[in-house]
Copies of this chain bind each other. A is one copy, B any other.
Amino acid sequence: MLNERSQKVLCAIVQTYINNPEPVGSGFITKRYSFNLSPATVRNIMADLEEQGFLSQPHTSAGRIPTDMGYRLFVNSLHSEIEYQPDNRSNLYKMVNELESIKDDINILLEETTKRLSGFSHYLSVAVSPSTRISTFNRIEFLRHRGSQVVAVLLTDEGLIKNKVLDVGSELSQRHLNRISEYLNSEFHGYSLIEIRAKILREMAREKDLCDTLISRAIRICKDALFFPYDDLFISGFAEVLGLPDLSDVEKIKEISKAIEDKHHMLQILEKISDTDGVKVIIGAENSIMQMKGFSLVAASYKEGDRPIGCVGMIGPTRMDYSRAIAVVNTTARFLTRIVTDRK
């Protein structure tokens, strides 16, 4: 579909544009790269590439800029040859070292990770805590709060700690609550939360109009206590990206700020990535769910053992430095995987 020479020229154009956000002309390519082609030839190639949808022209007499399709080809050709560049490494190395010391609490770890990531990449960075739905129930405890309120504290094998205030209708003694939690802990240990939820619903349907036994009460309380509609989302670096030349336009700024304020939507995107393996790159409006025209997402899941449980990533303009971003995200995800897996 695209001969090797065309592809090389395309990549040269994309790389040039990434280095400097100005339309790339045929002259620049011939001067900078030693393809041994004349500007005229490059012009012909560029015209072809434009016709095929890889490049576009701001106006008739300007150079070319890559389209999303152009970036895509560039990124694909990159994917195979990515190794950690030494200069990234030194920064990352420092970061990883700093993070080692706060690995006890997964959420704090993720928050600090995004902060540092955005700090030295100058892109927006994001992370989601391990998905509650697929997390493994470790135990739950109930603490009397006030009146008929109870605080449920849920611990999962992945290191998540979630609490929730419940109203249980009537005042229960702490002893009573302990009996309930003991029952739940023995019953549910080792199951995933989503399994437990299914179990509970089945159970409830069965003993619908059962009298107020310990078990039925436990089940009812538990149904609420284990339900967390959203995972935690960490975003950092908004002030950073404002410095990028790609965001000199107020409209663009509005777009991205809307995207990150809609946590629900962002979580949807990231959750999908949390399920897959390896680094994933979404360019511009490529993925219909990601309506951030003009921005790209580079993300990777982190795993507990072999099971992906959450993800970390970076958002930048489509014109972002993909090779660096991919390397950084990949390394960070591996780091998180190690932390989460080791502490079992």
Contacts and interface: CB of A to CB of B under 8 A. Distances in A.
B239 A165 contact: no
A254 interface: yes
Given A143-B155, A151-B155, A164 B250 contact: no
A81 interface: no
A188 interface: no
Contact of A164 (B105, B145, B167, B344): B105
A146 B103 CA distance: 13
Q: How many copies does the complex hold?
A: 2
- Interface residue tally of chain A, by bracket? 20 to 34
B161 A163 contact: yes
Given A104-B165, A250-B248, A253-B242, A143 B153 contact: yes
Interface in A233-269: 236, 238-239, 242-243, 247-248, 250, 253-254, 257-258, 261
Contact of A155 (B145, B248, B344): B145
A96 to B, nearest CB: 20
A250 B145 CA distance: 47
Interface of A is mostly: mixed
Nearest to A248: B250
B105 A165 contact: yes
Nearest to A243: B254
A334 B182 CA distance: 41
Nearest to A105: B165
Interface of A: 104-105, 139, 141, 143, 145-147, 149, 151, 153, 155, 159, 161, 163-167, 236, 238-239, 242-243, 247-248, 250, 253-254, 257-258, 261, 343-344
Nearest to A166: B104
A165 B153 CA distance: 13
Nearest to A157: B146
B238 A242 contact: no
Contacts of A155: 143, 145, 151
A31 B144 CA distance: 66
A149 B238 contact: no
A239 B153 CA distance: 34
Contacts of A105: 164-165
Contacts of A139: 143
A164 to B, nearest CB: 7
A221 B343 CA distance: 21
A296 B258 CA distance: 23
Nearest to A240: B261
A343 B161 CA distance: 26
A81 B145 CA distance: 42
Contacts of A343: 146-147
Contacts of A145: 155
**A147, A164, A253: residue with the most chain B Cβ atoms closer than 10 Å:** A253
Contact of A250 (B143, B159, B166, B242): B242
Contact of A242 (B143, B243, B254): B254
7 contacts: A143-B153, A146-B159, A151-B153, A151-B161, A153-B163, A161-B163, A242-B254
A130 to B, nearest CB: 15
